[in-house]
Every structure is written in C-alpha cells, then in structure tokens.
Amino acid sequence: MKTQKLILDGKSLTFEKIKYFLEQSPKVALSTEAKSKINKARNLIDKWIKTDEVIYGVTTGFGEFANVKISIKDIETLQENLIMSHSAGVGEALPPFIVKLMMLLRVNSLAQGHSGIRLSTLNLLIDMINNNIIPVVPSQGSVGSSGDLVPLSHIVLTMIGKGKVQIIKNVLYPKSSNTKIISSKKALEKFKLKPIKLAAKEGISLNNGTQMMTAFASYICLKAKELLKIADIGGALSHEALRATDRAYDLRLHKLRPYPGQIDTAKNMLSLIKNSEIRQSHLSGDKRVQDSYSVRCIPQIHGA
C-alpha cells in the first residue's frame, strides 16, 4: 500500500500520525499555510537586521553576553559558533528512531512560523528526513527544562556538513548492514543536497527546543497504549481463570466518577469477557461477596 505524505502545520500532529511516521516512513512536507507564516516571520527578521535592532541571540551574544552587540558581518559566524559550541554531547548514540522523531518534531514546531528561520533551511531538514539521513546524536548533554540544546545542536551540525550520520530507512528495525556511520557532507552529496550556512537567528531557532524529551515521551506513550491493551487482555484472562464476577465492571458504578479512562477500561473488560461460558457456569452456587483488589480494581488502575 502506498504511504500518504505527512503534512505538518505545527498544530495537527497526533500520536497516531507519529506512529504512522515511525512505522511507514512517509514523506514529510509543510502545509501551504505554514510556508507562508515561515516566510513572513523571516522577512521580519531581515527587516530588523537592516534597521540594526537589538535582538537577543540575533544581534547580541548569548547568556552572559546578551549585552554584547554583534556586528552584521559576524552574525552568521555567531549562529554557527552557537551550534559548534553546543555540539558537545557524550555517551552512547540515541536510537535512530528517536533522532528521526526529534527531526519531525522540530520541523513541526518551526512550522508554526514564529521562529524566523528561512524556509530553505527548514526544507533541508525535511529533505534529510525524506531521504532517511539520520544524524548520530550522543545521548548525554540535555540542559533539561532549558532545552535539549546539545542533542539538537548535533542534528544541526549535520545540516552544516560537519557531523556524522547514518542512512536508515527502517529506523525501528534497522539492518546491521545499513548502520554504517558516514560524514554528513558525504551523505548530503549522495542525495544531491547542499549543507547550509546558518543565517541570523537560525542557529538558536534550530537548537532551542525540547524535542529529545518530547520524542521519548511520545514513543513511551505509544508503547504504553500498546501495553495497556495487553494489560486489559491479561486482566480478562485472569478474570476468567479466577472465575470472578463481572459486577465490579458495571458501568453504572464507574460513571459515578468522572474519570474517562476508568470508564473506558470497564467497558473494555465487559467487552472482553462478554458471553463468557466460564462465568455462566459458575453463577449458581457462588457465595463470594467480592473478588480481590487485583481483579475488581482493574478499571481504576488501568484507567489511570
């Protein structure tokens, strides 16, 4: 079946689309509206530079150097130095699927059109995604709540032709023969792509985000949803084996509490044990008032 292109606009990416992206590796593109917003914001940055406005990280230094004015001729060097200085991660490399998801999430964030990045720069990141050029990103170095500056800088490093990458189509189940690490410059040349020279504001636009932790959180949520299905099935099997009552899943009880997850789990449990012959065969003569917590509180636990 032909995969459908995944259109990003900064506001409609869902868990289902992320799952589709990881499993099917569809081509990624920006919406027309997103392109318009990106160009509009970039024009504003260019205008401010021409009028010599004082803007943090654009015409000034970073952090303690926020009060240091940067000359127009050094603006591009400032952005590259920002990326070079933050490309200092250590430890094992992140899994390729996490890095690819980081790239998707960064594009989606920048698609909102508030950062001032050039459309051509963002298009290179999209081209890398679409050609399965996956940067090698060390796992240690995130600044936490201040942002995944270091991991994201390692991705940007490959966009300027100075980092290492792998070309992997199936990031969830990569073949060992396809995990060779090569220079980003060589990989870009293979797909007729050119490294970019970061313009004003672009370095900080690309590395100032939380896409590594968001990538992990998204993947964990997807896996948790899969595990939750298995947990319900396991609970239903235990219910059968223990010859338990289904009265603990009565929806009239669960609707007294406004917890959607609890209600959904109760519905699912009733569906899984519907028409149970085991349950029917033990209705008569069963003197138990209630079952153990582990059985009767499945909706409360799985629901949460």
Supply the residues annotated as catalytic.
56
Q: Could you give the C-alpha distances from 191 to 56, 128, 167, 266, 292, in angstroms and in order?
A: 35, 9, 11, 52, 61
CB–CB of 6/107 below 8 Å? no
Assigned token pair, 276: 């149970």
Where on the phi/psi map is residue 100: left (φ > 0), alpha (ψ -120 to 50), or beta? alpha
CB–CB of 249/303 below 8 Å? no
Dihedral pair phi/psi, residue 66, rounded to 5°: -60, -25
Helix, strand, coil percentages (3-state) for the chain, rounded to 5, are 55, 10, 35
As beta bridge partners, residue 165 has 135, 182
CB–CB of 227/302 below 8 Å? no
In whole angstroms, what is the distance from residue 136 CA to residue 158 CA?
A: 9
Helices (H), 1-130: 15-24, 32-50, 75-86, 96-110, 119-130
Dihedral pair phi/psi, residue 128, rounded to 5°: -65, -40
Contacts of 224 (CB under 8 A, 6+ apart): none
Number of helical (H) and strand (E) elements in the chain, helices listed first: 14, 7
In whole angstroms, what is the distance from residue 184 CA to residue 242 CA?
A: 58
